[in-house]
Amino acid sequence: MSGSGARLSVRGAGPDDAALVAELIEELNAHQREPTGHVTVEAVRRDGFGPSPEFTVLLAELDGAVAGYALYHPSWSTEVGERGLYLYDLYVREAARGQGVGRALLAAVAAAGKAEGRRFLWWSSKEWNREAQSFYAGLGAEEETVRAHAVFGDAFERLAELGDHSG
């Protein structure tokens, strides 16, 4: 990646970027100590760029080379009664860190939300990721103490069966 004189730009990802987005997601998963190998190009293309997109992706480039991405989707807060965005992923490749890429991506997501009449941007970070938390605090982000919960695979199937009253 380039040094301090690098030209930084942010653009929306499109269907032709599906392989790149999948690659970046895998890089983030490895960095976050999450399992890898589950995100496919086909899934990114289907769910991000199909007829009913589940998410939006912005790509940051330094001198034309992809430096990072942000993946987000619409949200609604029962705390404030407003529409907003949930930032699911923010990732900057290691060689591009410290060059304004993360700030540019977050600002672009916030601007996209504002243009849609949204009033907040919400995201989470791993408890161990103090570097990211310090960066977010510098942007004025308020830290909330929450625990995230999720059910996947068999646990999801069992829970869904409990609520399936269609038959």
The 10s digit of each residue's pLDDT in 124-137 is 988 888 889 999 99
Closest CA to 14 of 52, 36, 44, 35: 44
Residue 3 lies in a domain: no
Summarised one tens digit per residue, pLDDT across range 53-72 is 999 999 999 999 999 999 99
Residue 81 lies in a domain: yes
Range of the domain at 94: 8-163
For residue 63, the domain's CATH number is 3.40.630.30
Q: Distance of alpha carbon 86 from its chain centroid, rounded?
A: 8
Summarised one tens digit per residue, pLDDT across range 64-97 is 999 999 999 999 999 999 999 999 999 999 999 9
Q: Average pLDDT, whole number, for the chain?
A: 93
Residue 1 lies in a domain: no
pLDDT on residue 2: 43
Longest dimension (CA), the chain: 63
End-to-end CA distance of the chain: 57
> Has residue 107 got a pLDDT over 50?
yes
pLDDT on residue 1: 40
165 C-beta neighbours (distance < 10 Å), count: 5
CA–CA gap between residue 88 and residue 29 (Å, rounded)? 12
CA–CA gap between residue 160 and residue 45 (Å, rounded)? 26
